Amino acid sequence: MRKPLIPGLGLAAVLLTAALASCSGGEDPPPSGADAGNTPPDAGTPPVDGGTPDAGGDAGGDAGMDAGVDAGGDSGIPDAGEDGDAGTPDGGGDAGPGVPDGSVVIPNSLSGFGLFTGSPADGGLKPVAGNVPYELTTPLFSDYAVKSRTLHVPPGKAAGYHARDVLDLPVGTLITKTFAFPADLREPDKDVRVIETRVLVRQPGGWEAYPYFWNEAQTEATLANGGRVVRDVQLIDEQGVTRKFDYLVPSKNQCLKCHHVLDGAQNQVMVPIGVKARYLNREHTYGDGQTRNQLQHLAGLGMLTGLPPLPEVPHAPDAFDSEAADLDTRARTYLDINCAHCHNPKSQAGETSRLFLDIATMDKFSLGICKRPGSAGSGVGGEFDIVPGSPSVSILWYRLNTEESGKMMPELGRAIRHDQGSQLIFDWIDAMPDRSCEE
Ligand code: HEC
Ligand code: HEC
């Protein structure tokens, strides 16, 4: 548990800053105190998509799509000075210290949560006892960022086990995800720069999401509700190829685009995504040097109740370990963790596209097979989402593979292609028995 969140992250991180160009938002003032005191009702009063004050005031456009790789066209980019979080119903004072209902006060600085000691500049960011690091069997791809995650459940409380859905997490739960870029992915512990730490907070009224952006000195991360753009990130990928792109730290409002389900009244309700038994069901080497199954570790700490014997717990394989599962299972797992938070029957994008990529979907048409896209026009690689046996004319593969903003999928959260993921889905479609969709 005391393992450095990002091993080997020390002074090297500071030296690297030169390799990553400046960020646009470094100079703006920290969000006001009132802002930071955002109160629970946030999740209960979700902004309708169109009305969401996405950072950058990008005239209804989606910052994620617009920002993409096209550096110059700044319009959609969340930028300095937009941290005001205008449309959010700020509760101002009522989340003060000592709130009786268990609300978590949202600090302006990440250190204010008390979840970590140290910093990337000072020996590495280390989770405190009770803030348990975890990994997923297959994670979301985000421009090759190296991610580390932690889960904190308030003392005396526990998460409830679920076979399929996210764990049932109590009020006061804090989940963090930290994004960092090593200069060279083949040496992920060297020359690392930590960019952002995202925090999900379980308040009495529901979940809230907050982005914290690390300073260049790597000593502190500050609440950045408006998001950020880090220009000209450069790294060497696993194949030794240099990749350069603008990395987008999503704004607070953009978190909801992925982290939501629609409730009965079609409101977007914020939810966590990855903390599901099947993704947590793997081993992790903890600070004491011991390797344990993560779910059993949490249960052993009293942080998880209702865990059945491990053979009964579902398991999502590592999508890129061909020994771990067959091609179909691995491809479906990749789509589940990378796409299903939007493409499922209970989300906004699922409603729009009627394309369901969650692991539970068995209906071939809903998976995209011989399905004509509802929305996209021409120029997305074909006429059908999936043409069995023909990946190169399948829209699903095209949109996963392209780096063109407005066309690429996910529409938010990446600027560059995930070569491995693109290959996996290509192989998956290629292996399907040939079939013409025109008949
Ligand atoms: C492009 C979609 C997308 C956006 C935008 C997004 N997330 Fe996530 N997030 C995910 C997915 C998928 C996972 C689970 C997979 C993983 O952890 O790699 C996740 C995981 C997390 C986790 C770990 C707990 C969990 O839900 O599994 C935290 C914390 C988190 N996100 C916070 C945020 C915050 C805060 C924002 C906004 C600043 C945000 N995310 C924006 C897709 C997104
Ligand atoms: C942040 C939400 C989001 C994520 C994540 C996401 N999509 Fe989409 N997707 C959408 C929206 C919204 C549409 C409808 C508008 C459009 O076509 O651009 C869509 C449409 C599509 C379409 C056209 C489908 C049709 O039949 O109309 C395909 C194919 C697609 N997505 C594939 C993917 C794949 C593959 C992934 C994961 C690698 C993914 N998407 C992840 C939001 C998302």
* 357 Cα to the center of ligand 1, angstroms: 17
**What percentage of residues in the chain have a pLDDT greater than 90?**
70
Question: What's the pLDDT at 307?
Answer: 98
Looking at all shown ligands, the one closest to residue 406's CA atom is 2
List of residues 6+ apart from 68 with CB closer than 8 A: 403, 404, 405, 406, 408, 415
Question: Which residue, by CA, sits nearest to atom 26 of ligand 2?
Answer: 373
Element (H, E) at 337: helix 327-339
Arithmetic mean of pLDDT over the chain = 81
Distance, in Å, from the CA atom of 409 to the CA atom of 341, rounded to the nearest integer, reads: 12
Q: How many CA atoms lie within 13 A of 206 on its CB side?
A: 18
Distance, in Å, from the CA atom of 228 to the CA atom of 333, rounded to the nearest integer, reads: 30
Looking at all shown ligands, the one closest to residue 199's CA atom is 1
Residue 60: Cβ within 10 Å count: 11
Question: Which residue, by CA, sits nearest to atom 30 of ligand 2?
Answer: 396
Tens of pLDDT, residue by residue over 289-348, are 999 999 999 999 999 999 999 999 999 999 999 999 999 999 999 999 999 999 999 999
Question: What's the pLDDT at 103?
Answer: 92
Q: Where are the domains of the chain?
A: 11-292, 325-430
Question: Which residue, by CA, sits nearest to atom 22 of ligand 1?
Answer: 177
Please state, in angstroms and as integers, the Cα–Cα distance from residue 60 to each residue in 52, 266, 412, following that order: 8, 20, 15
Does the Cβ of 124 fall within 6 Å of ligand 1? Answer: no
Does the Cβ of 415 fall within 6 Å of ligand 1? Answer: no
Question: What's the pLDDT at 391?
Answer: 97
Residue (of 76, 143, 135) closest to 410 by Cα position: 143
Residue (of 204, 171, 342, 347) closest to 267 by Cα position: 347
Element (H, E) at 285: strand 283-285
Residues with a CB atom less than 6 Å from ligand 2: 257-258, 338-339, 341-343, 349, 352-353, 355, 368, 371, 373-376, 385, 395-396, 399-400, 409-412
Residue 94 predicted with pLDDT over 50 = no
Question: What's the pLDDT at 123?
Answer: 87
How much is the average pLDDT of 102-108? Answer: 94
Closest atom, ligand 2, to C-alpha of 257 = 1
Residue 64 predicted with pLDDT over 60 = no
Name residue 235's amino acid. L
**Residue among 383, 387, 398, 399 to mutate when testing ligand 2 (max atoms within 8 A of CB):** 399
Tokens 């009244």 correspond to 265
Token output for 205? 């009224």
Instruction: Please provide the DSSP assignment of 351-418 as one string.
Output: HHH----STT---TTTTTBTPPPSS--S-SSSSBSB-TT-GGGBHHHHHHH---TTT-SSSSS-SS--
List of residues 6+ apart from 171 with CB closer than 8 A: 101, 102, 154, 157, 202, 203, 204
* CB-CB contact of 34 with 95 (8 Å): no
Does the Cβ of 133 fall within 6 Å of ligand 1? Answer: no
- If pLDDT is split at 50, 70 and 90, which confidence band does 406 have? confident
Closest atom, ligand 1, to C-alpha of 337 = 12
Instruction: Please provide the DSSP assignment of 6-73 as one string.
Output: STT-SHHHHHHGGGSPPBTTTTSPPPPHHHHT--THHHHSPPPGGG---TT--TT--HHHHHSS-SS-
Closest atom, ligand 1, to C-alpha of 210 = 35
* 410 Cα to the center of ligand 2, angstroms: 6
Residue (of 428, 426, 364, 377) closest to 397 by Cα position: 426
Looking at all shown ligands, the one closest to residue 249's CA atom is 1
**Residue among 152, 198, 359 to mutate when testing ligand 1 (max atoms within 8 A of CB):** 198
Distance, in Å, from the CA atom of 404 to the CA atom of 400, rounded to the nearest integer, reads: 10
How much is the average pLDDT of 63-70? Answer: 31
Residue 27 predicted with pLDDT over 80 = no
Question: What's the pLDDT at 101?
Answer: 79
* 414 Cα to the center of ligand 1, angstroms: 13
* 370 Cα to the center of ligand 1, angstroms: 31
Cα R_g (the chain), whole angstroms: 21
Does the Cβ of 176 fall within 6 Å of ligand 1? Answer: yes
Question: Which residue, by CA, sits nearest to atom 27 of ligand 1?
Answer: 274
Least confident range from 67-76, 111-120, 123-132, 249-258: namely: 67-76
